[in-house]
Amino acid sequence: MNQERCAIGVIGMAVMGQNLALNIARKGFSTAVFNRTTAVTEKFHQERVQGEPVFPAKTMEEFVALLEPPRKVLLMVKAGEAVDAFIGKLILLLQKGDLLIDAGNSHFTDTDRRIAEAEKQGFLFLGTGVSGGEAGALHGPSIMPGGHERGYLLAGPILEQAAAQVDGGACCAYLGPRSAGHFVKMVHNGIEYAFMQALAEGYDLLHKVGGISTSRCADIFGEWNTRENLASYLTEITAAVLSHHDEDTGKPLVELILDQAEQKGTGKWTTQTALDLGVPTPLINQAVMARSLSSYSGKRKSLSSLYPTPLPVSNDSPDKDELIKDLEQALFLAQVCAFSEGFQLLESASGEFGYGLDLSTVARIWKGGCIIRSALLPHIEHAYSKLHPPLLLADPVLVPRIREALPPLRKVVALAAHHGVPVPCLGAALFSLDSWGAGILPTNLIQAQRDYFGAHTFRRRDKEGVFHEQWEKGDAQ
Ligand SMILES: NC(=O)c1ccc[n+]([C@@H]2O[C@H](COP(=O)([O-])OP(=O)(O)OC[C@H]3O[C@@H](n4cnc5c(N)ncnc54)[C@H](OP(=O)(O)O)[C@@H]3O)[C@@H](O)[C@H]2O)c1
C-alpha cells in the first residue's frame, strides 16, 4: 500500500487502540499507528491489518510526519502517567492548531488540567470517553467527546463514523466544554458497576435461595433479555457467561472463577465525585463497596464460619416461578435507580462545572455500542428531551412501572435478608426509593442531635427561622 498522509493517528496498540484504529480505517480514514513498544505495533500490523489503510510508525517523529495537518492524534493508552508522557512528547512535535484526543479513561480533573495546558500551548484537546469494550471499539462504540468544540469540528466526522449507529444516528456527540466527555464516561461506568452488581445479586438469589442451577439461570437471564424491563447488553452477556462451560472440568466456568472483583477506579471516582457534589448515589456506592469487600477473601473466609447462613435453602425455599418474576421486577428497578442516580449526578455536575450537558443527548449516545445500552435508554432520551423530570424516578411514564415493581423488589430484599444472602445493590434500590418517597425522614432527629452536641441549629416545620435549643435545661442554669 502506498504511504499517504493520514487523516488521524492512534497511539496505544493495546486491545482498545488496535480495534479502534482498525474500525476507523475500515470507515475509509487512513490511520497512522504507534505504540511505546514497537514490537506490539509490528505484530498488530502483521497479524490484524488486511488491506485497511493503517500505517505503522516506529518513532514518534515518523508517526507525526505521517499525519495530514491539522493533525489529529488519538491517545488510547493507560490512564494517568502514560497520557502525560505522550502529551509531553507530542507538543514538541505537533504544531499549533493540531488536535489531541485522549480517548482513555482519564480522571476528569486530569482532563481539565490537560486542556488548560494544551490551550496555553495553542493545541486543541478533546477528552473523550469510549465505551463498548474491545468489540465495541472494533464494530462501533459509544463515543463521548468533550473539550474544545473546534477540535470536535476536526475530528467529529471521523469519530461519528467510527461510532455505533442507532436509528440512523451516530452514538457520538460533542457533549460540552472542558472535561464534559470524561465526566459523562465516568458516570457511565458508575452506572455499569451498579447494574453489574445487581445482576450478580440476582444470580446469587436464583442460585442460593431458588436452588436453580447455573445453566437454568443462564436461560432465565436469556429470557429476561428479550423483555422490555431488562433487555440490555449486560443482561445479554450475563446469560452468555452463565451458559459458558469450562473445557477441562465441564462445569459452568463462572462457578470456578474466584469471587474477588477487581476495579480500575472509574466506579470509585463516581462515588467520590458524587460525595463531593452532595448527590446521593447509593447503588453505585454499594457496587463499589461490594467489589472492595469481595477482595478481602481471607477475612471473609474466617468470618463465614462465625456467621453461618441463617436459613439453608432446603428449609424454606420460595416458589421458583414467583422468585423469577419478582426478581425481574427488582432488577428492573435497580436499573432505573442506577440510571436515575447517574443522570442526577450528571445534572448536578453540569451546573457545577458549566458543562451545559443535554441529558437527552447523553441517553441517545448510550443507546448503542456502550456497555450500559439498554431498552430503558430510548425512554430516558425521550424523558429528558420532552419532560425533563426533576428526577428520572418522577418521570410520569416510569412512575406506574416503578409502582408496579416496588412490591416485588420489597419481597426480594426481604427474602434475601431472610436467607442471609447479601444484596447491597437491590437493598440500596429499595431503601433509596423508600427514602425518596417517604415524605418525612428521621433526619429531624439528626438535626436535633447535631444541635444538642454542637449548637448546629435547626429549622422547624411550624415556624420560619433558624433555632437553637437549650437541650439540657438543668445544666444551662
Ligand atoms: N479495555 C477496555 O475494555 C476499555 C474500555 C473503555 C476504555 N478503556 C480505556 O482505554 C485505554 C486503553 O485501554 P486498553 O485496555 O486498550 O489498554 P491499557 O492496558 O489500559 O493500556 C495499555 C497501553 O498503554 C501503553 N502504556 C502503558 N503505560 C505506558 C507508559 N508509561 N508510557 C507509554 N505507554 C504506556 C501500553 O504500551 P506498551 O505496549 O508499550 O506497554 C499500551 O499501548 C485505557 O485508558 C482504558 O481505561 C478500556
Is the pLDDT at 315 greater than 60, yes or no?
no
Whether 12 is in the pocket of ligand 1, judged by its Cβ within 6 Å, is yes
Is the pLDDT at 1 greater than 80, yes or no?
no
Mean pLDDT of 40-52: 97
Question: Are 140 and 132 a contacting pair, CB within 8 Å?
Answer: yes
For cell 432505573, name the residue. Answer: 336
pLDDT of the residue at 340: 98
Share of the chain above pLDDT 90, in %: 94
Least confident of 126-135, 248-257, 271-280, 304-313: 304-313
Nearest to 71 by CA among 149, 6, 122, 152: 6
215 within domain boundaries: yes
Residue 219 and residue 161 in one domain: no
Distance 90 CA to ligand 1 centre (A): 17
Report how far apart, in Å, the C-alpha atoms of 190 and of each of 187, 203, 282, 291, 354 are. Answer: 5, 20, 11, 13, 21
Q: Hey, how many other C-beta atoms are within 10 angstroms of the C-beta on 387? A: 12
Q: Hey, how many other C-beta atoms are within 10 angstroms of the C-beta on 269? A: 21
Nearest to 137 by CA among 377, 370, 372: 370
pLDDT of the residue at 313: 65
3 within domain boundaries: no
pLDDT digits (tens, 9 = 90+) for 394-408: 999 999 999 999 999
Give the side-chain half-sphere CA count within 13 A for 41: 20
- Look up residue 254 and give its amino acid: V
- The ligand 1 atom at the shortest distance from the C-alpha of residue 133 is 3
Residue 257 and residue 216 in one domain: yes
Is the pLDDT at 156 greater than 80, yes or no?
yes
Residue 362 and residue 407 in one domain: yes
pLDDT of the residue at 387: 79
Residue 402 and residue 467 in one domain: no
Cα 357 from Cα 350, distance rounded (Å):
6
Whether 81 is in the pocket of ligand 1, judged by its Cβ within 6 Å, is yes
**Residue where a domain stops, chosen among 124, 145, 174:** 174
Domain that holds residue 470: 443-476
Annotation marks residue 62 as catalytic: no
1 within domain boundaries: no
Whether 136 is in the pocket of ligand 1, judged by its Cβ within 6 Å, is no
Residue 97 and residue 134 in one domain: yes
Pocket test for ligand 1, best of 23, 38, 58, 77 (most atoms within 8 A of CB): 77
Is the pLDDT at 202 greater than 80, yes or no?
yes
Distance 18 CA to ligand 1 centre (A): 11
**How large is the greatest C-alpha to C-alpha distance in the chain, in angstroms?**
94
Mean pLDDT of 460-465: 98
Distance 362 CA to ligand 1 centre (A): 25
Nearest to 146 by CA among 132, 161, 165, 125: 125
pLDDT of the residue at 168: 78
Residue 455's CATH number: 1.20.5.320
2 within domain boundaries: no
Cα 333 from Cα 354, distance rounded (Å):
31
- Look up residue 382 and give its amino acid: H
Dihedral over alpha carbons 418, 227, 197, 238 (to 10 degrees) = 110
Q: Which three cell numbers stand for residue 259?
A: 469471587
Local confidence band at 310 (pLDDT 50, 70, 90 cut-offs): confident
Residue 47 and residue 190 in one domain: no
322 within domain boundaries: yes
212 within domain boundaries: yes
Mean pLDDT of 153-160: 98
Residue 235 and residue 278 in one domain: yes
Residue 43 and residue 81 in one domain: yes
Annotation marks residue 117 as catalytic: no
- Computed over every residue of the chain, the mean pLDDT equals 96
pLDDT of the residue at 475: 57
pLDDT digits (tens, 9 = 90+) for 331-352: 999 999 999 999 999 999 999 9
Residue 147 and residue 241 in one domain: no
pLDDT digits (tens, 9 = 90+) for 414-441: 999 999 999 999 999 999 999 999 999 9
Instruction: Specify the residue with its C-alpha closest to ligand 1, atom 39.
Output: 37
pLDDT of the residue at 65: 98
**Residue where a domain stops, chosen among 114, 142, 174:** 174
Residue 245 and residue 354 in one domain: yes
Local confidence band at 287 (pLDDT 50, 70, 90 cut-offs): very high
Helix (H, G, I), strand (E, B) or coil at 373: coil
pLDDT of the residue at 143: 98
Number of structural domains the chain divides into? 3
**Residue where a domain stops, chosen among 115, 148, 174:** 174
Instruction: Specify the residue with its C-alpha closest to ligand 1, atom 30.
Output: 82
Whether 45 is in the pocket of ligand 1, judged by its Cβ within 6 Å, is no
98 within domain boundaries: yes
298 within domain boundaries: yes
pLDDT of the residue at 473: 78
Residue 12's CATH number: 3.40.50.720
Local confidence band at 316 (pLDDT 50, 70, 90 cut-offs): low
Pocket test for ligand 1, best of 10, 16, 86, 373 (most atoms within 8 A of CB): 16
Residue 386 and residue 330 in one domain: yes
Q: Which residue has the higher pLDDT, 243 or 168?
A: 243
Distance 80 CA to ligand 1 centre (A): 10
Share of the chain above pLDDT 70, in %: 97
The catalytic residue among 192, 201, 328, 381 is 192
Is the pLDDT at 477 greater than 50, yes or no?
no
Strands 124-131 and 54-56, how do they pair?
unpaired
